[in-house]
A and B are shown apart, each in its own frame.
Chain A
Amino acid sequence: MLDLIRSGGVVSRVDLVEASGLTAPSITRIVKVLIDDGLVIETGFGDSTGGKRRTLLELNASARYAIGLSLDDARLTYVVTDLAGNLVGRLVAEGVRDATPAVLISRITEELHTLLTQLDVKTSDVVGLGLARAGLRDREGGVPRGALAAGVWGDFEVREALEASSGFTVVVENDAACAALGEFWTGRLPATKDFATLYMATGIGCGIVIGGSVYGGASLNAGEIGHMIVDVNGPDCWCGSRGCLEMLAAPRSVVKRAMADTDLATALSLTGTEAELRTDFAVIARAGAQGDPRCVALVEESANYLAAALLSLTNLIDLDQLYLAGPGFADAGSIYYRIIRSRLESFAFQRAVHSVTVELSEVGLESAALGAAAVVLQSELTPHRKAAVST
């Protein structure tokens, strides 16, 4: 219901009856709950159609706020949005790097409260915190025991720990799925469109949107394109398989190849350490974007593997729209874009029937955090549930 009011701008109760298919008394009841909660306000009267004048309703966007947090090795990005999904502000702070979960949870709690003070938003007006992170999750958004993971986070229950220390309701969602939702949330996409968002940070994931909602699969863990095999004889992957996309295209592999060229590693002052992985990658990507031929070649190699994986995905589920998002594309996005677009233009199996559009995400670095905030708005403000409780 809130979504109908949000997308409609200014609407009347009669419009809502028509759009929702619910009965007029139900709408009246739901709207009353929304008005009592301050989520919706009456903004005046519409044109009279002969009978009683219609009272117009509008979303009270600044009544509540949602926080989205993208948990990334290189930087933590917090966004605060209002009810309508408009960006109120953001905070960018040091990334996860090699912090232990306990240290990080306490820092996040401090940063959340600093940010709310900086934006002059009351804690009581925050409906919840959406957390975008990589990796497997269970149905409650937690991390399954013994789950495969690349770092120390595998067995740590991030959601419970963060709820306990911050006091906010926390919803955890995969970062690539969030990025896809974030793309949606900017309001440019028609709500029924099918598309996929490839998200690259330290790892690589993919949010697949079918008919306007993120495709979850059997356990809400769909989209692990990072473990699509792109070389059957390729290197062993930490997941137990071999030749996975992530092992051949992710920042770690690009830095590894760069380190093998000692001249280049020295010239760019690369550290080759795990803690500086993303900084090293950004340096290589930036040098590539400025035309350094050795770095262009390194980025192109990564892009070629990504293009192969995206081509397979496109052929498999017949997509016509792809987005590239995440910090992995922030510095050399134009090289990735060029290679991936040209591969899809030349080889997409369905190319004779329709073209495949590739775009660099407009919200780029923020997309996962914005999507995480959208997840909170959708899950915490389900007025159907709320109305059902109160009627």
Chain B
Amino acid sequence: MKNIGLVLVQPGARAVHEPLMSGISHGLEEAFVRAGMRLVTRVVRERSAELDVYRYWHASGAVDAIVLVRVRHEDERVRFLGQLRIPFAAIVDAAEVGDFSAVTVDSASMMRSALSYLTSQGYSNVVYVKAPEDTVLSDIRARMFVAEAEAAEFHGRVVSADLTADGASSATEELIADAASRPDAIIFDDDVTAVAGLSTLQSFGLSVPRDVAVMAWNDSVLCQSATPSVTALSDRAHEIGTLAANCLIDSVATGTRKIIGAPDSFIVQRASA
């Protein structure tokens, strides 16, 4: 086994900066190179092209095994790769474990720790701004958010917004339009949206975190450099990448299915929440 393949779907013409995916790629590359292998990443514009790439890789023999990311509920790619009999390992949510090797990320537990942190800081009216796309992660987080809100008896709401700065700004504007129902804390799905939400709050004269607290699901230098700096969940992306590479190498070497849990994320406490 020498050539490992990864397909990334990037709809925009320009590469979108995603700290989570960069971290995962970096971890994968480092571990595969250390094992004497190499990682080829193919960028495609739409999701339908992804299966064509796998078909071509299989037919040409140019790639020996695959890493699968952003696995959705009942993902067709899982069945397709199984039919091709090409070895693969996936990075999946703990709720989506299937009959294949994978590194599991426990979003539900991440959401629990985010919420218990916020409630311990005294916030009681929390909104989770989730991505609208059908990424399984966002949906699992949203379900866990609602369940926790009921259990802990705080006021919790989920709204959807595009995972862009503009999407986050307009969602934030709507949330604060009515002072009476204004949340006292907002969780955004990533660093870019959190920082955009933060500046929207400030542009409406609100103080962060005194009036509204802000928390980001992914940490990055952007969170660190914002004023005030943004509290975030560490994503452990590099470690997840390393684990996924080792999971694939092990499962191919032993011919068995491997399931490895990703390390728990922790709260990077900064000034915004």
Contact = CB atoms under 8 A, between A and B. Distances in A.
Interface stretch (A33-41, A206-214, A239-247, A362-370): A362-370
B36 A338 contact: no
B179 interface: no
A201 to B, nearest CB: 14
A29 to B, nearest CB: 29
Interface stretch (B14-22, B73-81, B103-111, B206-214): B14-22
Contact of B14 (A75, A115, A187): A187
Interface stretch (A45-53, A92-100, A143-151, A298-306): A92-100
B39 A114 contact: no
Contacts, number: 76
B62 A117 contact: yes
Contacts of B15: 86-87, 186, 363
Nearest to A88: B43
A362 B14 contact: no
Interface stretch (A20-28, A134-142, A329-337): A329-337
B221 interface: yes
Contacts of A334: 221, 224
A164 interface: no
B135 interface: no
* Chain A contact residues, majority secondary structure: mixed
Interface in B1-47: 3, 5, 13-15, 17, 22, 26, 29-30, 32-34, 36, 38-43
Given A330-B26, A365-B26, A115 B43 contact: no
Contacts of A115: 40
B51 to A, nearest CB: 14
B33 A118 contact: no
B92 interface: no
Nearest to B63: A118
A360 interface: yes
B60 interface: yes
Interface of A: 75, 84, 86-95, 111, 114-115, 117-120, 186-187, 279, 282, 286, 330-331, 333-334, 337-338, 341, 359-360, 362-365
Interface of B: 3, 5, 13-15, 17, 22, 26, 29-30, 32-34, 36, 38-43, 56-57, 60, 62-63, 221, 224-225, 238
Top 4 nearest A-B pairs (CB, nearest first) are A93-B38, A92-B29, A362-B17, A118-B62
Given A92-B33, A115-B40, A118-B42, 14 more contacts: A75-B29, A86-B43, A88-B43, A92-B29, A95-B33, A111-B38, A118-B57, A118-B62, A119-B40, A279-B34, A286-B238, A360-B221, A363-B15, A365-B26
15 contacts: A75-B30, A84-B13, A86-B13, A88-B42, A88-B43, A89-B41, A91-B39, A91-B41, A93-B38, A117-B60, A118-B60, A187-B14, A333-B221, A337-B225, A365-B26
